[in-house]
Structure 1
Amino acid sequence: MGLKRLLVLGLMVGGVSGCSALSSADRDAALKRSAEFVPGPELRDPQTSSSTQSSQADTTGSEERLMKPPSATELDPQVMYEVLLGEMLALKGAQNDAFRILFPLAEQTRDPGLAERAFQLSMATFDLEAIQAATDLWREISPESSVAWKASYLMAVRDGDQSKAREHWDRYRAVSEQTLDQDLVQAAMRLRQTAPAESGLAFMQWLLQTHPEKATVQYGMGLVLHAYQQYSPAIDYLNKAIGGFEVMLSDVTPAWPASLSQQFRNEMAPEGFAQPWLLQVYRQAHLLMAESYLGVDRPQSGLDALADYVEAYPDDWAMQERYARLEVKAGFYHQAEQRYQAVVNHRPDAHQTRLALALLRLEQGDYEGAIEPLEQLKATRSFESAARYYLGRIAQQQGEEEQARAYYESVVDSEYGLDARLHLAELTYDQLGLEATLEQLSALSPESVEDKVRVLRARALFYRKAGQLDQAIDQYQDAIALTPDNVGLYLKQAMLQFEAERFEAYEATLKQALDLAPAHAELLNALGYFYVEQNRELEQATELLDKAVALAPGQFHILDSRGWLAYKKGELKDAERYLRKALSMQMDPEVLAHLIEVLWVDGQKREARALWQKHRSSFPDHEPLQTLIQRLQSS
Structure 2
Amino acid sequence: MKYIKSTLLGAALALAFGMSAPAAGDPPQDRQEKPSKAGKAAKPGKRAPRANTSESIVPHPEATDGSELTGQVVYQVLLAEVALQRGRNEFASQAYADLATRTRDAAILERAIEVAGYARRFDRVQQLARLWVEVDPESKRAQQVLVGVLVMSNQLDGLAPQLISMLEADRPALPGNLLALNRMFARNPDRQAVLQLIKKVCAPFLDLPEAHYALAVAASAAGEHEQALAEARQALQLRPDWEPGALLQAQLLARKSPGEAIVSLQAFAEKYPQARDVQLHLARALVGEKRYAEAKRLFEQLLLAYPNNPDVVYPVAILALQENDKVLAEAQLKHLVTLDIPDKSAPYYYLGQVAEENRQEAEALAYYRQVGPGEHYLPAQIRSAAIIAQQGKLDEARSLLRDAAARDPQLRVQLVIAEAALLRDAKQTEAALQLLEEDLKEQPAQTDLLYESALMAERLGRLELMESRLRKLIELQPDSAQAYNALGYSYADRNVRLPEARQLIEKALKLAPNDPFILDSMAWVLYRQGDLEGALTHLQRAYAQRPDAEIAAHLGEVLWMLGRKDEAQRTLREAQKKHPASEEIQEALKRFSP
TM-score range, shorter chain: 0.5 to 0.7
Residue 77 to residue 351, structure 1, CA distance change in 2 (3 Å):
farther
Q: Is the 8 A contact 1:99 1:122 kept in 2?
A: no
1:142 and 2:142 aligned: no
Between the aligned partners of 1:360 and 1:548, the Cα distance in structure 2 is: 31
Match of 2:559 among 599, 610, 622: 599
- For CA contacts below 8 A with separation 6 or more, give which structure has more relative contact order: 1
Cα deviation, 1:88-122, whole Å, max 9, x if unaligned, reads 348x9999989997997996696686578669989
Match of 2:223 among 244, 258, 267: 244
**Structure-1 residue corresponding to 2:157:** 173
Cα deviation, 1:554-610, whole Å, max 9, x if unaligned, reads x54443333333333444333332322333345444333333433344454565466
**Structure-2 residue corresponding to 1:579:** 539
Residue 548 to residue 357, structure 1, CA distance change in 2 (3 Å):
farther
Match of 2:506 among 543, 553, 559: 543
Q: What is the identity, as a one-letter code, of the residue corresponding to 2:161?
A: E
Q: Is the 8 A contact 1:395 1:403 kept in 2?
A: yes
Between the aligned partners of 2:251 and 2:105, the Cα distance in structure 1 is: 39
Q: What is the identity, as a one-letter code, of the residue corresponding to 2:261?
A: Y
- Equivalence map 1:179-578=2 (5 Å): 189-190=186-187, 204=189, 207=190, 244-249=223-228, 253=230, 266-269=242-245, 283=251, 308-314=256-262, 315=265, 335=290, 351=310, 371-380=330-339, 381-396=341-356, 398-409=358-369, 411=370, 413=372, 429=389, 433-435=393-395, 446-453=406-413, 455-476=415-436, 487-514=447-474, 522-523=482-483, 525-535=485-495, 536=498, 537-550=500-513, 553=514, 555-578=515-538
**Structure-2 residue corresponding to 1:196:** none
Residue 437 to residue 569, structure 1, CA distance change in 2 (3 Å):
closer
Q: What is the identity, as a one-letter code, of the residue corresponding to 1:246?
A: H
Q: What is the identity, as a one-letter code, of the residue corresponding to 1:88?
A: K
Unaligned regions of 5+ residues in structure 2, if any?
Answer: 12-23, 34-41, 61-75, 78-95, 164-178, 197-216, 266-277
Between the aligned partners of 1:388 and 1:601, the Cα distance in structure 2 is: 48
Shift of 1:488: 4.6
Q: What is the identity, as a one-letter code, of the residue corresponding to 1:506?
A: M
Shift of 1:379: 1.8
Between the aligned partners of 1:184 and 1:480, the Cα distance in structure 2 is: 52
Cα deviation, 1:218-272, whole Å, max 9, x if unaligned, reads xxxxxxxxxxxxxxxxxxxx9x97793225437xx4x8579689999842236xx
Residue 447 to residue 482, structure 1, CA distance change in 2 (3 Å):
farther
Between the aligned partners of 1:494 and 1:364, the Cα distance in structure 2 is: 37
Between the aligned partners of 1:544 and 1:110, the Cα distance in structure 2 is: 72
Residue 455 to residue 216, structure 1, CA distance change in 2 (3 Å):
same
Shift of 1:486: 6.9
Q: What is the identity, as a one-letter code, of the residue corresponding to 1:141?
A: W
Q: Is the 8 A contact 1:99 1:118 kept in 2?
A: no
Between the aligned partners of 1:480 and 1:324, the Cα distance in structure 2 is: 42
Shift of 1:406: 3.4
**Structure-2 residue corresponding to 1:330:** none
SS in 2 for 1:244: coil
- Equivalence map 1:120-139=2 (5 Å): 137-139=128-130
Q: Is the 8 A contact 2:150 2:159 kept in 1?
A: no
SS in 1 for 2:406: coil
Cα deviation, 1:287-335, whole Å, max 9, x if unaligned, reads xxxxxxxxxxxxxxxxxxx77442221348669869968x9xxxxxxx3
Residue 216 to residue 469, structure 1, CA distance change in 2 (3 Å):
farther
Residue 463 to residue 352, structure 1, CA distance change in 2 (3 Å):
farther
**Structure-1 residue corresponding to 2:550:** 590
Residue 248 to residue 483, structure 1, CA distance change in 2 (3 Å):
farther
Cα deviation, 1:124-180, whole Å, max 9, x if unaligned, reads xx967699976653233336977545544666xxxxxxxxx5xxx45x51344389x
When the two structures are aligned, how many residues end up with a matched partner? Answer: 466
Shift of 1:450: 1.7
**Structure-2 residue corresponding to 1:19:** none
Residue 98 to residue 530, structure 1, CA distance change in 2 (3 Å):
farther
Identity %: 21
